Amino acid sequence: MHTTNDNNNVATEVRIYMMNNNRLPVMITVKEAAKATGLPEYYLRKLCITGQIKAVKNGKKYYINEASLCDFLSKMMEEVE
């Protein structure tokens, strides 16, 4: 029978493995994304809501997947060229 302590140890080991192997996505706030990209916060929120970039909503805040934002910006730049 597994105890809660055993389950916590396994979960901790999985988290450490994933972090060491860069498997966890980097998430940034809308404010951080706006500062880094120069895009307005309202526009970044719109991208989150419409699913154009991957994001997670926690309460009233959106946390943007940094890789998804980079992909979106790359595609935007390709369209401009």
Determine the pLDDT at residue 38.
95
Evaluate if residue 81 carries a pLDDT over 60: yes
Whole-structure pTM value? 0.70
Beta-strand relationship, 27-29 and 61-65: antiparallel
Domain boundaries, the chain: 25-80
Candidates 1.10.8, 2.60.40, 1.10.10, 1.10.150; CATH matching 25-80: 1.10.10
Percent share of the chain, pLDDT over 90 = 60
**How much is the average pLDDT of 45-73?**
95
**CA terminus-to-terminus distance, the chain:** 61
- Reduced to 3 states (helix: H, G, I; strand: E, B; else coil), residue 61 is strand
